[in-house]
Amino acid sequence: MEKGFIENGFIINLSNSKNTNQLVYELSNIMEHPDVRGKRVCLKLGNIDLKQSQLLSIKALIEATDAGIAFIDTTSEQTEASAASLGIMISKMSDEMQSDSIIPSAPEGEPVVVKEELVTEEVPVSEPEESDSVAEKVVEPYAETEPASDLTGLINTTEGVEDTYTEASEHELSEIIPSERFENEFERLAASEGLISNEEISKYILLDTGEVLPQGAEEHSTDTKGLPTLYLSQTLRSGQTVTYEGNILIIGDAHPGSEIIAEGDITVWGILGGIAHAGYKGNINSKVRALKLNAIQLRIAGLYARRNDTLNVPYVQKTNEFIPEEAQIEDGKIVIYKKLRRD
Amino acid sequence: MAGRVIVITSGKGGVGKTTTSANIGTALAKEGYKVVLIDTDLGLRNLDLLLGLENRIVYTIVDVIEERCKLKQALVKDKKNPNLSLLAAAQTRDKSAVNAEQLKEICDKLKEKNDFVLVDCPAGIEQGFQNAIAGASEAIVVTTPEMSAIRDADRIIGLLNTKEEITSTRLLLNRVRPNLIKNNEMMSVDDVVGILEIPLLGIIPEDTGIITSTNKGEPIVNDEHSLAGQAYRNIAKRTLGEEVPFLDLDEPKGIVAKIKNVFAKLKAKV
């Protein structure tokens, strides 16, 4: 990974990364550097194939530090297509052609080669026969607000795709993008009108701590639907703890410094800013949901993840528009999904 | 090796104990010493925020005392400096969760493997204070040049003097504003030292950079250009026994004068 300077931004060369995990890991390290704040970033991505959702995560990571993507350089067609559909500019840069000409200081500059056609070509608007049945299956669970478990079951069957995440354990990175498996389903969902879809986002890094479950607790997977639910309508403030042998539903915000500990799911109808521990007795099936997941730490069963340092903003601006988020365990990692509504 | 256990205390709240702990700790770690910071402000912890480590805390000092984890597990390593670690206070408990003996035991254990153990004391003179000073052999009293802060510092020094284990008590004068002193609107450094009659460890000028550094979770000693950061680095060196002259706080005045000078010259040209 090398960093180059250009006039009003950075070139970040990630083309040596072997896989997505490594790429995001290196990028997040660079983004922690204070100099990157507010800069325009040019990403050299090499030949790594990035799905739309993966590229979106990367974009979010960069934008979290007030920086923005100026353009990307890639040799992968897939990445190109993803970038095109996200409106990210693509440019080819050779090592000789440097600085001035690259950064489009004049708006929508010439060197940008955005292939419009690719959008329509690559995004599978409809995959004839299969799509219907899959869409049905996927959509149904959403109506019951119990999406991921069924979805996972469904998608696991398509798992045979080679696993590119084996190197993940090498880094402290936890959460990034196993969504190759989800990709087609997303695209299909996106294609069919007005459906709610998942968009995976990455902002948490796994903490390496030992056993954190209460003594004698064992990892298990139980449906949280059957558990009783504690209903609270209040703001949780710093220093306040709610513990319940069941699900917890909070109508209000949970401020930084508060703790919510549940045997089952945790749902916050508001901003979750404190610590949330779902399934604290070892239920890996538990989930944490909030209108805005800004928890300092997310804990599900025996897994602990801390918020990325670049996102260490304790208080979130309140707006009228939140995109609900949901965290769950997947392949031994805590993964967060944004519940997007695609129109 | 047996490290030094230093308690940072003040009596009054809001004079900069926690900021001082974070900055001296970071400065000492930067000098290559192994440092542990202990936050004893149970229920109102802040030290983790100043260091930007809040998202890494899993176990706290109460977990250690109630034997839910090992001491080593509860130490949170600093992001930048592996020499520095933090033993965080519990946010959801209060001061009664810990007693003086337990804290002394933790300090004793920590000083075996570290050069410095800095204990950030809560405000007040009740149990929290008694806990914090239990394991310490040295104290730094933080105060500002205000009557109320000095009154409380005086009380604290009196309490520290009755404790035989504490062999050295030194003064850190925080938030000093040279221009106010010049206009006789603020007590001077000499006045304060005259009242409290303990050796002066350092003077920190008022610096708005402290606010941004606190919000960012980045101690100001890491900022090479900040005057307050320089003052804290000097304090760390004095703690190590080096003789460092006190900062000339009139310096900024000099710059203003210089600018005025430039303007005067420009006028002359016109």
Taking 70 as the threshold, does the pLDDT of residue A186 lie above it? no
Q: B109 — alpha (psi -120 to 50), left (phi > 0) or beta? A: alpha
The mean pLDDT value for A303-327 works out to 76
> Where is average pLDDT lowest: A21-35, A252-266, A290-304, B1-15?
A21-35
Chain B touched by A259 (CB under 8 Å): yes
pLDDT tens per residue across span B213-239: 988 899 999 999 999 999 999 999 999
Residue with the bigger pLDDT between B269 and A137: it is: B269
Q: Which CATH number fits domain A2-122: 3.40.50, 3.30.70, 3.30.110, 1.20.950?
A: 3.30.70
Chain B touched by A240 (CB under 8 Å): yes
Share of chain B above pLDDT 70, in %: 92
Q: B129: domain range?
A: 4-269
Chain B touched by A273 (CB under 8 Å): no
DSSP A201: E
Please name the residue ranges forming H helices in chain A. 20-31, 52-63, 77-86, 116-122, 128-143, 147-156, 180-191
Taking 80 as the threshold, does the pLDDT of residue A124 lie above it? no
Chain B touched by A213 (CB under 8 Å): no
Share of chain A above pLDDT 70, in %: 59
Residue with the bigger pLDDT between A92 and A91: it is: A91
> Which amino acid, A313?
V
pLDDT tens per residue across span B48-88: 999 999 989 999 999 999 998 999 999 999 989 999 999 99
Alpha-carbon distances, residue A308 vs A74, A89, A312, B40, B251 (angstroms): 26, 26, 7, 26, 40
Residue with the bigger pLDDT between A21 and A84: it is: A84
| pLDDT band with cut points at 50, 70 and 90 for residue B264 | low
The mean pLDDT value for A191-217 works out to 64
pLDDT of the residue at A192: 45
Residue with the bigger pLDDT between A25 and B116: it is: B116
CATH 2.160.20.70 holds for A200-341 = yes
Alpha-carbon distances, residue B90 vs A158, A303, B19 (angstroms): 46, 20, 19
Of B44, B55, B92, the CB nearest to A296: B55
| pLDDT band with cut points at 50, 70 and 90 for residue A321 | confident
Mutate one of A240, A312, A313 to test the B interface: name it (highest B CB count within 10 A): A312
Alpha-carbon distances, residue B226 vs A40, B209, B214, B245 (angstroms): 28, 7, 14, 17
Question: Is B56 within 8 Å of A312 when comparing Cβ atoms?
Answer: no
Question: Is B54 within 8 Å of A256 when comparing Cβ atoms?
Answer: yes
Q: List, edge to edge, every strand of the sheet that includes A204-206.
A: A204-206, A303-307, A297-300, A275-278, A259-262, A241-244
Number of structural domains in chain B: 1
> Where is average pLDDT lowest: A55-69, A96-110, B247-261?
A96-110
Distance to chain A for B70, nearest Cα, Å:
10
Question: Is B92 within 8 Å of A259 when comparing Cβ atoms?
Answer: yes
Residue ranges per structural domain of chain A: 2-122, 128-199, 200-341
Residue with the bigger pLDDT between A299 and B265: it is: A299
ipTM of the complex: 0.74
CATH code for position B257: 3.40.50.300
